Chain A
Amino acid sequence: MGSEFVLFISAAIFSIGSVGFVIRKNPLVMFMSVELMLNAVNFLLIGYSSFLNSLDGQIFALIIMTVAAAEVVVGLAIILTIFRTRHELDVDRINTLKG
């Protein structure tokens, strides 16, 4: 199992995540896509950390997971608030924040 395998898997997950973020309209699903992208990066970090015999990548992965968890807390709170005030969750219709 070479490093190409890790790269391919990581790139695939990242692409799925980014495409999912662009084509889906439900913010919850978009959030999950973001998590996919983050985890693609984590996967890459951990994989290479083991190839290179260095712990740095794994520590990085831990930090990214922490940040992602914090981000989810804030993001879910925002989504919940939007849903409570507008009673819908279509990102294309939440477009008042523009110039």
Chain B
Amino acid sequence: MYSLSWLILLLPLTGFLSLSWFGKRFPKLLGGWFACAMVGGAFLVTLLMLAQLYSESPADRLNHVQTLYPWIVSEGFSLNLSILIDPLSVFMLLIVTGVGFLIHVYSIGYMHHDKEFNRFFAYMNLFIFAMSVLVLAADFFFLIVGWALVGLASYLLIGFWTEKKSAVLAARKAFVMNVIGDVGMLIAAFMIFEHFGSLNYVDVFKAAPTAFFPNDDSILLITFLLLVGAFAKSAQIPLHTWLPDAMEGPTPVSALIHAATMVTAGVYLVARCNALFTMAPFTMYLIASVGVITAIVAGSIGMVQYDIKRVIAYSTMSQIGFMFLAVGVGVYSVGMFHLMTHAFFKALLFLGAGSVIHGMADEQDIRKMGGLRYAMPITFITFLIASLALAGFPLTAGFFSKEEIVMNAYHGQYGNFVFWGLAVIAVGMTGFYTFRLFFYTFMGKSRTPEAKPHESPLVMTAPLMILAGLSLLGGFLGPWVHSFLSPVFGGAVPMHHDDAMLEIIAVAAAMGGIIAAVAIYMTGKDQLAFAKQMLAPIYEALYNKYYIDEIYDFLIVKPVKAIGKFMEERAEKLGIDFSVDEVGRQVREVSRGISIWQSGKVRIYALNMVAGMVTILLFVIFM
């Protein structure tokens, strides 16, 4: 049965190739449903893999490597195109193809009016293919291939509306930022090959515990370089600035790539390479610190933005920060659990936002919305469920996963009081920005009376309802996730910490955030103006996203541009161009002198030839 795993790669690839080659000949809706069928098929095959894993005992579920094709075979180095089936990859694939399928279906409704409908679905299938390569790779080489391919798919989809300049610029920014990460990954792979003589996960992870002492220089460097890739892909500080801009793409793209799947690849990478990261406790602290700092920074920025998608984008960064915090303190499966619940409720939030944008005729500013609860009841209820889950309201999906993270931030292997405190603050922020967004959008009165919001068609609301169900109930999958994934993490199951004190504080923080949002945004305008005035300097800094874009602009973009300008105006014009031109000019001058001999008179030419011949003859005879 494992031998069927290549279908997971083949189906989306088929969808991509046939839609991109023959997309113009497909009838419009058929192309969309065809793409959905491909992803749905991949999901079914993944379910088959899951069933197959369950037919074995937990210890035997690891390292099922399917070699499809020996690609490079040489002395001391071989590279196979191979697929790794184990609980972690199947778990990720369930999310990628499952949530991916729902978002594909939703896109049929959302992109209905777009004239390049089939190109969109071709790219979407390309993304599913790329993400499957990333997840199924059995060695670091194909991991990097998948890593770069998802970057490509992300680039193509962010810049899908090529006539929109901001979208094209955002796509370029995302691509450049991601390439920084790719370079880190590549160097890490070189170093891994240098130390282990192999790129296979199985070989490397088996050898890792004995190859290094903990906190060796080389393992620190390897893990750090892997992290550069993980942080760039997962939009963690300081490589985060591309994610909010990536919201220029169509909303289903934001839901699929920039919330549910691709941006969590960094967390997957850390979980996948846990054997390496365990050997580098120092890096683990780094991961947890960056994660928790990103959670706070992104959460605080999200509290004051007005673009509905940007708020959710910052929220995504913040939640991925939580995931990094979890894997950083050593509870990998908790991080993966939050990855799953986050995929549910964040995809739901984005799709709900897409439904709102769709219904409001492409309006994204929440200040112009309001009162949508009557016009869009299904979107309203599902969005409310997603907001509750995101804020960590008890018994929703986000509650379970986030509580476990906060608890482990203190009790986990590398946890401490500082991580816990910062995580609690971030939880509070989550509650606040989520419900600020919710109140702005759905409650109160409409702020643009001329808008005629309408509920979206069933093809869009059905995925919303399914995801809402998952967001409500997904939290109860926690114990299953931990036991299913434990073989991958060396048999470790995160301990349940009964610490009522910490739990109450964390829940209180989440509730406090929600209540603060209610107090400011539901009771009247006065409190809002008052709060803004009180916190004006902070508000300004937050509204401008801590000026990080401006700092990068000043530190990197401006100097590079200045160097480029110097090169263009001085080095090229006066150096390279001048010398090349001068060579040409000199050759022309010399040629002009010689060309006098070429008079066009045949008899002179003949005379010259005869004279030359005679000269040679005389030379030969008499010398």
Query: Closest B-chain residue to A27, C-beta based?
Result: B602
**B55, CB-defined interface residue at 8 Å:** no
Nearest to A24 among chain B residues (CB) is: B603
Q: Is the interface of B mostly helix, strand, loop or mixed?
A: helix
A92 touches B601 (CB 8 A): yes
What's the minimum C-beta distance from A63 to chain B, rounded to whole angstroms? 22
Render A87-99 as a binary contact track against B, CB cut-off 8 A, 1 for contact: 0000110111111
CB distance from B612 to the nearest CB of A (A): 12
Name the B residues within 8 Å of A99 (CB-CB): 591, 595, 598
B350: shortest Cβ distance to chain A, in Å?
71
Residues of A68-98 whose CB lies within 8 A of B = 91-92, 94-98
> Number of residues in B with C-beta < 8 Å to the partner?
11
Query: Is the beta-carbon distance between A25 and B603 smaller than 8 angstroms?
Result: yes
Give the chain B neighbours of A94 by CB distance below 8 A: 600, 602
Contacts of A98 in B (CB 8 A): 595, 598-600
Bitwise, B586-623 to A at CB < 8 A (1) or not (0) is 00000100010011111100110010000000000000
Asked whether A49 is an interface residue with its Cβ less than 8 Å from the other chain, the reply is no
Residues of B close to A18: CB separation below 8 A = 606, 610
B610 A92 Cβ-Cβ under 8 A:
no
Judge whether A22 is part of the interface by a CB distance below 8 angstroms. Answer: yes
User: In chain A between 8 and 53, which residues have their CB closer than 8 angstroms to a CB of chain B?
Assistant: 18, 21-23, 25, 30
For the complex, count residues of A whose C-beta is within 8 A of B: 14
Q: Decide if B600 touches A22 in the complex (CB within 8 Å).
A: no
Residue from B595, B598, B606 having most chain A Cβ neighbours under 10 A: B606
Chain B residues within 8 Å of A92, by CB: 601, 603
Q: Which residues of B contact A97 (CB under 8 A)?
A: 600
Main secondary structure of the interface of A (DSSP, over half): loop
Residues on the B chain within 8 Å of A30, using CB: 602
Q: Contact at B600–A96, with CB atoms within 8 Å?
A: yes
Report A-chain residues with C-beta under 8 Å of the C-beta of B602. Answer: 30, 91, 94-95
In whole angstroms, how far apart are the Cα atoms of A23 and B603 in the complex? 7
Say whether A91 contacts B610, CB under 8 Å.
Answer: no
Measured in the bound complex, the distance between the Cα atoms of B610 and A94 in whole Å is 21
Across-interface contacts of B591 in A (CB, < 8 A): 99
With a cutoff of 8 Å between Cβ atoms, the chain A residues found around residue B606 in the complex are 18, 21-22
B603 and A91 form a contact (CB under 8 A): yes
Contact between chains at B607 and A91 (CB < 8 Å): no
Min CB distance A65 to B, Å, is 22
List the A side residues contacting B603 at CB < 8 Å. 21-23, 25, 91-92
Which residues from chain A contact B598 at a C-beta distance below 8 Å? Answer: 98-99
**Distance, CA A94 to CA B599, complexed state (A):** 11
Query: What is the minimal beta-carbon distance from A71 to any residue of chain B, in angstroms?
Result: 15
A95 touches B610 (CB 8 A): no
Q: Once bound together, how far apart are the Cα atoms of A97 and B601, in whole Å?
A: 8
Closest CB in chain B relative to A28 CB, distance in Å: 13
A42 to chain B, nearest CB (A): 18
Bound CA–CA A94/B604 (angstroms): 12
Interchain CB contact under 8 A, B600 and A95: yes
Shortest B597–chain A CB gap in Å is: 9
Q: How far is the CB of A5 from chain B (nearest CB, A)?
A: 20
Q: How distant is the Cα of A92 from the Cα of B610 in the complex, in angstroms?
A: 18
Nearest residue in A to B610 (C-beta to C-beta)? A18
For B610, the chain A residues whose CB sits under 8 A away are: 18, 22
Which residues of A are found within 8 Å of B601, using beta-carbon distances? 91-92, 95
CB-defined contacts of A95 to chain B, threshold 8 Å: 599-602
Residues in A whose Cβ lies below 8 Å from that of B599: 95, 98
Query: Which A residue's beta carbon lies closest to that of B592?
Result: A99
Q: Which residues of A contact B600 (CB under 8 A)?
A: 94-98
Q: How far is the CB of A88 from chain B (nearest CB, A)?
A: 15
Look across to chain B and name the residue whose beta carbon is closest to the beta carbon of A92.
B601
Q: For residue A83, give the distance in angstroms from its CB to the closest CB of chain B.
A: 15
Q: Who on chain B is nearest to A33 by CB?
A: B606
* Complex-state Cα separation, A99 to B596, whole angstroms: 8
Query: Roughly how many angstroms separate A73 CA and B610 CA in the complex, as a whole number?
Result: 24
CA distance A21 to B144 in the complex (A): 75
Closest to B609 in A: A18
* CB of A17, distance to nearest CB on chain B (Å): 10
A78 to chain B, nearest CB (A): 12
In the bound assembly, the distance between CA atoms of A96 and B602 in angstroms comes to 11
Nearest Cβ distance between residue A8 and chain B, in whole angstroms?
16
**Cα distance, A97 to B595, chains bound together (Å):** 12
How far does the alpha carbon of A34 sit from the alpha carbon of B316 in the complex, in Å? 90
- What CA separation (Å) do A39 and B8 show in the bound complex? 81
A91 CA to B604 CA, complexed, in Å: 10
Known interface pairs A91-B601, A92-B601, A97-B600; A22-B607 also in contact (CB < 8 Å) = yes
Chain B, residue nearest A15 (CB): B610
User: What are the nearest 9 A-B pairs in CB distance?
Assistant: A98-B600, A95-B600, A99-B595, A99-B598, A22-B607, A98-B598, A91-B602, A95-B601, A18-B610
Interface residues of A (CB under 8 A from B): 18, 21-23, 25, 30, 91-92, 94-99
User: Please, could you name 10 A-B residue pairs with CB atoms under 8 Å apart, sorted by A?
Assistant: A18-B606, A22-B606, A91-B602, A94-B600, A94-B602, A95-B600, A96-B600, A97-B600, A98-B600, A99-B595
Known: A30-B602, A95-B600. 13 other contacts (CB 8 A): A22-B603, A22-B607, A22-B610, A25-B603, A91-B602, A94-B602, A95-B599, A95-B601, A96-B600, A98-B595, A98-B598, A98-B600, A99-B591
